[in-house]
Structure 1
Amino acid sequence: MVSPKIRIPLLTPFFQIIRYCLAILLNTRECEEERRLKQQCQSLLTVARKLFSHLGDLSDLLKEIMSEARRLTNAERCSLFLLDPDHMHLVAKVFDGVSSAEKSQEVRIAKDQGIAGHVAVTGKLLNIKNAYKHPLFFKGMDETTGFKTRNILCFPIRDEDKIVGVAQLCNKTNGNFDYFDEQVANAFSIYCGISIMHSLIYKKIRDAQARSQLSNELMTYHMRVHDQDVADVLMCPNPHDYPNFDDFSFTPRKILHRELPCFVLKMFEELNFIEEFRIKKDILTRFILYVKKGYRDLPYHNWLHAFSVAHFAYLCLKNFQLVEKGYISKLEALAYLISCLCHDIDHRGTTNSFQQQSDSVLASLYSSEGSVMERHHLSQTICTLNTEGCNFLESLNRDDYIKCLDLIKDMILATDLAIHYRIHSKQSAMALDGYNKNNAEHRYFLCSLLMTCADLSDQTKAWPESKKVATLIYTEFFTQGDMEKEMGKEPANMMDREKASIPDHQLDFLTQCCICIFKILEMIFPKAKVLVDALKKNILCWETSKMVFERLGLEGKTSYEVLTSDELEAQVQATLEVIQG
């Protein structure tokens, strides 16, 4: 057996080698860490340059932020939540590395819930090695998407003095997120916060410039209303008395153009709004004349269309006794009439999609919010109210004034059919269950329904009037289609004068949209049956017109030429007399 005195000298060189190697390994590790840190710092400088190149578009900036965060840390998935201070929620603005279906869904979480909520409240980074064992982890998202979260690095994004969002990285590709990933995240968050705040400020500046451009454009396009113009309306000797003015069958488009402001004033008086809300008639008249000037000289979306829509609102208030029976309040009734009058101010004769495709000034202002034209109409309504000598609502108390503006906003936005389609099923359910005047949601659905019906009310008039309106609408449609072709884009068939089949488009619109809407109105107000019956007659007329369109089409006439021909109406009427005969 070898004694200990012999072993120690034999092992000493080995320990010396270990000590030597350990020093080399430690130095190598420190060198490698410094190299990695230097590389990541250089990457962060590159990221900073990229981020500042995207300041003009917040959406692109956020996508770039998450793309770089994912690359720097080798994460499989990353998401960015921005804090919504008004509702105290975190809203997922970008999901990187997920399917397109998931990207289209907005994810909102309470500020103090979950891992992201905890980081938003505490302001401290969380590096979680095993997500499913962490008490704050919500596995429901994994169950929905099929994604398996292993580890998470979640860190706050700050501006100079507060947290503006949270970034969350999932599943490092080669293990767990380490100390260096945390350092990179902390450094990266500074660039994020600075970039986001600069982008928001930049957007505000661009919006202000765009609004200024729009205001200058509007002032150039329109003239001022003079005191004599107001006096001419107030002192008009004409009795303005048309037979059946209060009936749904009345055609408001037959009123002389110069008389329209007088009839608007008459509707305010007949509904007792002037006395009820202590409205000064001269201020109201000036507002009406400014609204009139706010409409462009378009074939359809013009001042006469605005009057027709307002007249339908007047008919609903009168015939359904909306206020007297408690369906809506007097303030809601006032907002309804104002909204109908103003709902298309400064319409450009083109659709929301065209505004976005053409990258117009309006699109740059409102496309992120949706309902581009409707938001512009609302903005111009408020601008008109704020014009000197036009705010006829000044007699309202503060709460009613704010409430009235909120109602006008909701009602004008409701004229966007995209919004109607989103709430159509709920409006139907409301009608089936029975309208509850104490239910705030029911009141919103009803006011939105009334706005949509008013906007489409031309379709409930007699066939000759319906055909004239169709001519005006397709004149605008085809003008837009021509502009889209000049832009190198393929217009929709209904916008293409060479491809449009007008009776088919009209039948689709009447059967798939209009009659469905007015049937809901009839379920709530049985008197609306006359409107549904009128629509059914017009559907029959358009069905009958297809034979005329086909015959004249064989003679080489376009669909629009048939629509504007003198013989169409006579032949449809004659055919109907034979059918009903």
Structure 2
Amino acid sequence: MATVAVQRLLGALRGLAGWWWGGEARETVDFHTLQDALLQLSGVIDLDGLRRAVEDAIGTIIPNVHSKAVYLLDLDSRQLRCHGNTLPVLPAEGIIQEAVSEQQCVTRPSPPAEDPVCRILQLRQGEQDRTVICFPVLDREGSDLLAILLISCSRPAQLHYDNLSLLGKHIATCYSRLKQVQIQSGGAMSHTPARRQDSGTIDTQAILQLCADLYDQDAPALQLKVIRYLQKVTRAECCLLLLVADDTAEFFCQVIGEHVLEEELRFPIDQSCLGHVVSSKKPVTLEDLDSKGKEELQSLVQHVQLGEIRSMLCIPVESKAAGNIVALACVFNKRDRLKFSSGDASQILTCFTYTSTVLTSTLAVQKERKLKLETQSMLQIAKNLFTHLDDVSVLLREIMQEARNLTHAERCSLFLVDKGRRELVAKVFDGVVADESELEKLRQELGPNHRRLSDVRVMNMNELRIPIDQGIAGHVATTGEILNIKDAYSHPLFYSGVDHSTGFRTRNILCFPIKNEGHDSEVIGSFLMGDNEEIVGVAELCNKINGPCFSTYDEELAQAFSIYCGISLVHSLLYKKVADAQHRSKLSNELMMYHMKVNEDETARLIVDKIPAITSIHPDVFVFSFTPRVIYDDQTTLCCLAMFEDMGMINRWRIQKETLVKFVLMVKKGYRDPPYHNWYHAFSVSHFCYLLYKNLRIDQLLTDVELFALFVACLCHDLDHRGTNNAFQVSSKSVLAALYSSEGSVLERHHFAQAMCILNTEGCNIFENLNKRDYEQALDLLQEIILATDLAHHLSAVKDLEAMAKEGYDKSNPRCHTLLTCLLMTSCDLSDQTKGWGTTKKIAELIYQEFFRQGDLEKSMGYRPHEMMDREKAFIPDLQISFLENIAMPLYRILGDLLPGSECVFQAVKANRDTWMQVRETAKRKPITHGNSFDFFKMLDEDDDNSLVNNGEGGKANH
């Protein structure tokens, strides 16, 4: 677009020029011709070449030039000079003086003959159509006069003045470059052209072609082209570029001569003989280096078999944008045994004037591409490591392999920290490891006082242990610092005895710590450092394969790699701990199930015998007032089977009789023997559920799966109850609290877990024939219903239950199903309060016996028990009345509202409340002595129950 605009402008100017010269068409300068003329200035290497280039440019950009002269500033004499002219030093007279003093262009048609400009331009009398232009050129700051351009031409146009202004700017730029060359080369800026054998005139076309060829996105390929160009123009046998990595303060070299290195060479700038060039920004030659520096350069060029270095020139390449040194261009061995000159330095500087930006940009792209590849590589490494978390040994081998591949190391050793013993442990070995006999031999050679090997132990040939404060690995483990040892044998911490034993030769070592940022030292046994850092292991890499030693770049890779190592190691060790805990838990469960093993004779008998009709067990089994605790223990299992049969669950769910028998017997075996929360409680709760089914037809309100889960939950809801409540589990920090306290309902969650344990026992899963959907729903319901036995859960749902009782039960609403099942479960759980006074009194005695045992235990632990648990403070009648009025009666009132026909249950509870109120009055007249509230029941037994109640149930319940 810009080119088209310029061409259009030039066309318009051609018309203007034709009008200026009386309608005669004149040849004007097109854009490309102007560009080529100005570009010639970029190739000059001295003032004489600059003068010739400017004269050629004037003749090109201004048509009909008759004569011209170019005066340039000589820096030594500070004079404007033009070699070869009749007046070599610019005279300060006439229009020249006017242009110099005003520092602006002066134009004179036919100047007077006495003006010195006529002599300079060789103007003759009578040439009245000639116009003289005196054009001053100032430096880029506009302060110093650099040149005067004197031109004789015919009728110059404005376009020509514009071209002269553009030429002046290029002269100032070129002058600045030549001045910089003079400063860097330490020589004078001469008007005399350099000899051809030193450098020759810069070939503009060649450098333009070089710039055109620098299209590679591959930095080594681009460098190779630049190096070939420099070798040609400086006539050097070899050339290389030492690129500067500012972030790591290193030189790195990718190409030497015609040879692209497979692995780039890297070495610290401050340790190189050419390091001072970066700070001084001045070139150096071979003569400026000492013998050690010459040896360093000789080893650097050994990759191309250059032979002995006879001459060398090193030029710093400066960034145009930032002004810092981005590379050092080094040329070696000038052909024909000549030395490199300032002309060669100028050639190199000119080359990088046009190529350094391309080079630095390509290196930046390469760096980003390399960073991307490193990131992808690290992600792949993370994937490889994290897929082996289940086996620490395999993971350690994988870490060692990845560490070798990443840094190109010959071998790798990996040690884990044993904080308890303050030792480093190697469980997986890479390469040759000395056995115990070899270590003992070395100990004898070293003597008893040598500690470096005396404490090394091989344990069962499966692991090697060394003290954490010894050796290179020990130093890294205790300090947390990375060690990059370039010469292992010269390092004081290195012990060469193992090399002598194994035959392995250690040249260099990179040892880095593996840290745990998760900070769980108790789990993994890590070694605590400062600043909340923990060392979990140490990796030790030996012998860089593709370089003389490990570089700073290798250190950075190792540090990044160690993060993934730490994460994977910590999680692998945690995984192993969890797996071990699961195995121990499985063994404990197996042991528990072994001791819960049911009687085989009883199992066989129940399987063979036909399940009897439930009425044959007791004729009043359908009545709400019936107390199931009157059924003998050996008949309770048979009664459970009969209830399953009578409710149609065996046929509906295709339950194998053997499975059902084993399940019921295992559940019975799963209950402990506290005074109240024992098997008889579970049996009574299940029986009340059966009563609800028989008398209130709850199967018409619930689905088959819900009814099945409800009945099973009644059997299992207090499995393995310890006779203490949830608050005690939490305050005593029991194992159950540790497992379940964060979720709440500690005991209820344990009861469900025990139920699942029984269901998962071989031959006990009564849900086994359910389809997948029913099976999942049954387990979810089982958990939900058992958790609902927590009274805290019930109390939180009371308002919703009352609302449902008021609005009516909606069978299509899942929320109503959930509320109803929870209500039924709580009603079954508290059903002992719905029986006659004799049963209620006996149950209260069992409950407070259990409560007071917990209170005594809390006192022994230094806790203050709740009043109802404290036998010295509890007033049982008040506690019972409060429980019935605040918990039981509201519960059964809601049940009566929802299920017509259950009003008798509420009335039974109310009658018991009234009886307790009468008992309270009696108890107040006969206060308890000796501070034991449990003696209240002895007093109650001594009273005539018939005087308190009219039902004759007395003390039927003995369980």
TM-score range, shorter chain: 0.5 to 0.7
Find the counterpart in structure 2 of residue 282 from structure 1.
658
Q: Return the alpha-carbon distance in structure 2 between the equivalents of residues 226 and 530 of structure 1.
A: 42
Q: What is the one-letter code of the residue matched to 1:548?
A: T
Q: Is contact 2:827–2:891 with CA below 8 Å preserved after alignment? A: yes
Q: Which has the larger radius of gyration?
A: 2
Whether 2:869 is the aligned partner of 1:401: answer no
Q: Return the alpha-carbon distance in structure 2 between the equivalents of residues 491 and 552 of structure 1.
A: 25
Distance 1:242 1:228, change over 3 A: closer
Matches within 5 A, 1:439-450: 439-450=813-824
Q: Return the alpha-carbon distance in structure 2 between the equivalents of residues 521 and 536 of structure 1.
A: 14
Q: Return the alpha-carbon distance in structure 2 between the equivalents of residues 304 and 210 of structure 1.
A: 32
Find the counterpart in structure 2 of residue 544 from structure 1.
918
Q: What is the one-letter code of the residue matched to 2:688?
A: F
Q: Is contact 2:598–2:665 with CA below 8 Å preserved after alignment? A: no
Q: Return the alpha-carbon distance in structure 1 between the equivalents of residues 580 and 620 of structure 2.
A: 51
Find the counterpart in structure 1 of residue 140 from structure 2.
none
Q: Is contact 1:374–1:413 with CA below 8 Å preserved after alignment? A: yes
Q: What is the one-letter code of the residue matched to 1:352?
A: N
Matches within 5 A, 1:98-137: none
Q: Is contact 1:309–1:341 with CA below 8 Å preserved after alignment? A: yes
SS in 1 for 2:655: coil
Q: Return the alpha-carbon distance in structure 2 between the equivalents of residues 369 and 337 of structure 1.
A: 25
Q: Is contact 1:210–1:361 with CA below 8 Å preserved after alignment? A: no
Find the counterpart in structure 1 of residue 811 from structure 2.
437
Instruction: For residues 209-267 of structure 1, give each alpha carbon's deviation from its aligned partner in whole angstroms, at most 9, with x where no partner exists.
Output: 78447626634653344254342465279763312211111100000111000000000
Q: Return the alpha-carbon distance in structure 2 between the equivalents of residues 465 and 279 of structure 1.
A: 34
Whether 2:680 is the aligned partner of 1:304: answer yes
Distance 1:491 1:206, change over 3 A: farther
Q: Return the alpha-carbon distance in structure 1 between the equivalents of residues 810 and 580 of structure 2.
A: 44
Q: Is contact 1:277–1:396 with CA below 8 Å preserved after alignment? A: yes
Instruction: For residues 112-154 of structure 1, give each alpha carbon's deviation from its aligned partner in whole angstroms, at most 9, with x where no partner exists.
Output: xxxxxxxxxxxxxxxxxxxxxxxxxxxxxxxxxxxxxxxxxxx
Q: Which has the higher helix share?
A: 1
Whether 2:734 is the aligned partner of 1:365: answer no
Task: Give the alignment partner of residue 891 of structure 2, picking from 512, 517, 520.
Answer: 517
Distance 1:406 1:549, change over 3 A: same
Task: Between 390-399 and 438-447, report the one with greater CA deviation.
Answer: 390-399
Instruction: For residues 66-94 of structure 1, give each alpha carbon's deviation from its aligned partner in whole angstroms, at most 9, with x where no partner exists.
Output: xx9xxxxxxxxxxxxxxxxxxxxxxxxxx
Find the counterpart in structure 2 of residue 384 from structure 1.
758
Q: Return the alpha-carbon distance in structure 2 between the equivalents of residues 526 and 440 of structure 1.
A: 21
Find the counterpart in structure 2 of residue 272 from structure 1.
648
Q: In the TM superposition, what is the alpha-carbon distance from 1:577 to its structure 2 partner?
A: 5.6
Q: In the TM superposition, what is the alpha-carbon distance from 1:418 to its structure 2 partner?
A: 1.3
Distance 1:349 1:556, change over 3 A: closer
List alignment gaps of at least 5 residues for structure 2: 1-479, 482-512, 525-531, 533-562, 952-959
Q: Return the alpha-carbon distance in structure 2 between the equivalents of residues 541 and 214 of structure 1.
A: 48
Q: Return the alpha-carbon distance in structure 1 between the equivalents of residues 702 and 611 of structure 2.
A: 34
Distance 1:431 1:235, change over 3 A: same
Q: In the TM superposition, what is the alpha-carbon distance from 1:553 to its structure 2 partner?
A: 1.8
Q: In the TM superposition, what is the alpha-carbon distance from 1:201 to its structure 2 partner?
A: 5.5
Find the counterpart in structure 2 of residue 416 from structure 1.
790
Q: Return the alpha-carbon distance in structure 1 between the equivalents of residues 870 and 741 of structure 2.
A: 25
Q: Is contact 1:453–1:518 with CA below 8 Å preserved after alignment? A: yes
List alignment gaps of at least 5 residues for structure 1: 1-40, 57-67, 69-188
Whether 2:950 is the aligned partner of 1:574: answer no
Whether 2:520 is the aligned partner of 1:52: answer yes
Q: In the TM superposition, what is the alpha-carbon distance from 1:543 to its structure 2 partner?
A: 0.5
Distance 1:237 1:436, change over 3 A: closer
Q: Is contact 2:516–2:570 with CA below 8 Å preserved after alignment? A: no
Task: Give the alignment partner of residue 903 of structure 2, picking from 518, 521, 529.
Answer: 529
Distance 1:225 1:384, change over 3 A: farther
Task: Between 557-566 and 350-359, report the one with greater CA deviation.
Answer: 557-566
Higher relative contact order (CA 8 A, sep 6+): 1
Matches within 5 A, 1:72-471: 204=578, 208=582, 211-212=585-586, 215=589, 218-219=592-593, 221-226=595-600, 228-232=602-606, 234-235=608-609, 240-323=616-699, 325=700, 327-471=701-845
Q: Return the alpha-carbon distance in structure 2 between the equivalents of residues 337 and 438 of structure 1.
A: 22
Task: Give the alignment partner of residue 861 of structure 2, picking from 463, 487, 491.
Answer: 487
TM-score of the two chains, using structure 1 as the length reference: 0.64
Q: What is the one-letter code of the residue matched to 2:596?
A: H
Q: In the TM superposition, what is the alpha-carbon distance from 1:398 to its structure 2 partner?
A: 1.5
Q: Is contact 2:627–2:835 with CA below 8 Å preserved after alignment? A: yes
Q: Return the alpha-carbon distance in structure 2 between the equivalents of residues 400 and 466 of structure 1.
A: 38
Q: Return the alpha-carbon distance in structure 1 between the equivalents of residues 762 and 906 of structure 2.
A: 43
Q: Return the alpha-carbon distance in structure 1 between the equivalents of residues 885 and 590 of structure 2.
A: 42
Q: What is the one-letter code of the residue matched to 1:223?
A: K
Distance 1:422 1:521, change over 3 A: same
Instruction: For residues 556-581 of structure 1, give each alpha carbon's deviation from its aligned partner in whole angstroms, at most 9, with x where no partner exists.
Output: 5732112144635x445404569xxx
Q: Is contact 1:278–1:395 with CA below 8 Å preserved after alignment? A: yes
Q: In the TM superposition, what is the alpha-carbon distance from 1:197 to its structure 2 partner?
A: 6.9
Q: Is contact 1:296–1:348 with CA below 8 Å preserved after alignment? A: yes
Distance 1:217 1:355, change over 3 A: farther
SS in 2 for 1:415: coil
Q: What is the one-letter code of the residue matched to 2:764?
A: C
Q: Is contact 1:481–1:495 with CA below 8 Å preserved after alignment? A: yes
Distance 1:195 1:329, change over 3 A: farther
Q: Is contact 1:230–1:285 with CA below 8 Å preserved after alignment? A: no
Distance 1:236 1:467, change over 3 A: farther
Q: Return the alpha-carbon distance in structure 1 between the equivalents of residues 925 and 642 of structure 2.
A: 47
Instruction: For residues 474-524 of structure 1, give each alpha carbon's deviation from its aligned partner in whole angstroms, at most 9, with x where no partner exists.
Output: 111111111111111001011111111111111111111111111111110
Q: Return the alpha-carbon distance in structure 1 between the equivalents of residues 517 and 904 of structure 2.
A: 65
Q: Is contact 2:607–2:658 with CA below 8 Å preserved after alignment? A: no
Q: Return the alpha-carbon distance in structure 2 between the equivalents of residues 192 and 248 of structure 1.
A: 65
Q: Return the alpha-carbon distance in structure 2 between the equivalents of residues 335 and 554 of structure 1.
A: 45
Q: What is the one-letter code of the residue matched to 2:687?
A: H
Q: In the TM superposition, what is the alpha-carbon distance from 1:317 to its structure 2 partner?
A: 1.3
Q: Is contact 1:55–1:202 with CA below 8 Å preserved after alignment? A: no
Q: In the TM superposition, what is the alpha-carbon distance from 1:389 to its structure 2 partner?
A: 1.2
Q: In the TM superposition, what is the alpha-carbon distance from 1:424 to its structure 2 partner?
A: 1.6
Q: Return the alpha-carbon distance in structure 2 between the equivalents of residues 479 and 555 of structure 1.
A: 19
Q: Is contact 1:544–1:572 with CA below 8 Å preserved after alignment? A: no
Distance 1:402 1:227, change over 3 A: farther
Q: Return the alpha-carbon distance in structure 2 between the equivalents of residues 335 and 211 of structure 1.
A: 27
Q: Return the alpha-carbon distance in structure 2 between the equivalents of residues 370 and 234 of structure 1.
A: 43
SS in 2 for 1:282: helix
Q: Percent of aligned positions with the same letter in both sequences?
A: 41
SS in 2 for 1:523: helix
Q: Return the alpha-carbon distance in structure 2 between the equivalents of residues 313 and 466 of structure 1.
A: 18
Distance 1:419 1:198, change over 3 A: farther
Distance 1:489 1:315, change over 3 A: same
Instruction: For residues 316-365 of structure 1, give each alpha carbon's deviation from its aligned partner in whole angstroms, at most 9, with x where no partner exists.
Output: 11111111x3x101111111110000111111111111111122111111
For this pair of structures, how many residues does the alignment match? 408
